[in-house]
Amino acid sequence: MYSYSMVQWLFFFYLYCFAGWCIESAYVSIRTRKLTNRGFMRGPFLPIYGSGAIMMLVVSMPFQDNIVMTYVAGCIGATVLEYVTGVTMELLFKMRYWDYSDKPLNFQGHICLGSTLSWGFLTILMTEIVHVPVERLVLSMPPKILAVAAYILTAGIFADFALSFKAAIDLRDVLVKMEQIKEEMMHIHGRLGAIVSRASQGMENYKTAFSESVSAAKGFGEGMAVRMEDLKSGIESKVELLKSAARTKPTAYLESVREEVLELVAGRVPLIVELKADRADMAVCREADRLLSRYEGLYCIESFNPLAVLWYRLHRSEVVRGQLSDAFWKEGEYVGTISFLLQNLLFNWLGKPDFIAYNCKYPKMLSKWLCRRLYHIKTAAWTIKSREQLREARKHFDIFIFDGFVPKGEGG
């Protein structure tokens, strides 16, 4: 055992990468009740499993006949690998793929005593049971066939890893030129509409009560009319102040009213929440989750930033998530590699969205059509502002997002 050539070591690595992908993808698919392709890469390989398996074999080499030392070596080696991998991934991609912060005796959230002790038992299981038939299989293969297979796998996996790694690195600079204020104002408009609608409904209720009471007490009714006008004036003044604050300091405005908006809606209607995550900073995702976890109604999230969608996939997989996109090149505002990839939904493998929200002006984009027809992903059209747009969008989309337009009498 452990007297292997470089080709055999490579083949062991690829076998365990594939086995890890099968185990994790099957587990997640069963848990979520839908087929899930797990992993950083596009192909059926998880390098962390291959690295872990090879590490266990290497650190146990000097202690093949001493099971206690094999356990100790496994604890130390795997813990070092886990810590280095966690720190490196966080430095590169500005996010954590696992977090032990809530576990006792953890260090920086990357490692903890419980996982360290488990690694020791897994090392014994690996070296004494799992690797024995795998070793027998690899050693029985003709050297030439093994070499050819290893070289082909090396080329394919290296290309896959390079593309996936470059895409993940590039995502740190995604959406630098996005017009944050323009999008924020669109959502401010919607929130103000909800506030005005609630205020108007309250006014109508007051007016109805006032009309009914006039027949009983006209004098009192006149006094109420004055009070109603004062109330209406006060509400309108309040809305004007909110609008003014939204125009002058939209970021501060959103910070001050986001909790009030949720309290106002109070679970009465489903919410579509757009997350404006800046590059790889996922603070907005954590804050949104903090607020929405207390919301009693239905909601879903969507974002132009695939990393925000990925954050919800990793941390809140039960929440419906959507990938926002647009024909950036046709709009002429953002022309570049990242914009091209976003426009053609080539980052969907990262966040695996439940739906795609696309600009309704471009209903025939090939990437959107392929996702809808081949992968049966629901597509939403944004933003419908007229009956004509709605009629056209019905031919190409499944869901419709409206702005300043109520589709009365349109059905569905």
* pLDDT 10s digits, 173-196: 554 444 555 565 566 556 656 655
Let me know how long the chain is. Answer: 412
Residues whose CB falls within 8 Å of the CB of residue 289, separated by 6 or more in sequence, listed in order: 312, 315, 316
Give the integer Cα–Cα distance in Å for 328 and 91: 29
Pick the CATH number of 270-412 from 2.60.120.620, 3.10.129.10, 3.30.360.10, 3.20.20.70: 3.20.20.70
Q: Which of 241, 261, 240 is nearest to 187 (CA)?
A: 261
* Per-residue confidence (pLDDT) for residue 296, from 0 to 100: 82
Contact criterion met (CB below 8 Å) for 397 and 371: no
Whether 257 has a pLDDT exceeding 60, the answer reads: no
* Per-residue confidence (pLDDT) for residue 175, from 0 to 100: 44
* Per-residue confidence (pLDDT) for residue 327, from 0 to 100: 84
Token pair for residue 213?
């009471």
Angle at 394 between CA 392 and CA 399, to 5 degrees: 130
- HSE (CB half, 13 Å, CA atoms) of 35? 4
Token pair for residue 385?
């502002």
* Per-residue confidence (pLDDT) for residue 184, from 0 to 100: 59
* Per-residue confidence (pLDDT) for residue 412, from 0 to 100: 44
Whether 120 has a pLDDT exceeding 60, the answer reads: yes
| Annotated domain spans of the chain | 6-173, 176-266, 270-412
Q: How confident is the model at residue 322 (pLDDT cuts 50, 70, 90)?
A: very high
Give the integer Cα–Cα distance in Å for 12 and 127: 13
Beta bridge partners of 325: 358
Angle at 297 between CA 102 and CA 252, to 5 degrees: 75
* Per-residue confidence (pLDDT) for residue 197, from 0 to 100: 62
Q: How confident is the model at residue 214 (pLDDT cuts 50, 70, 90)?
A: very low
Contact criterion met (CB below 8 Å) for 28 and 69: no
% of residues, the chain, pLDDT over 90:
14
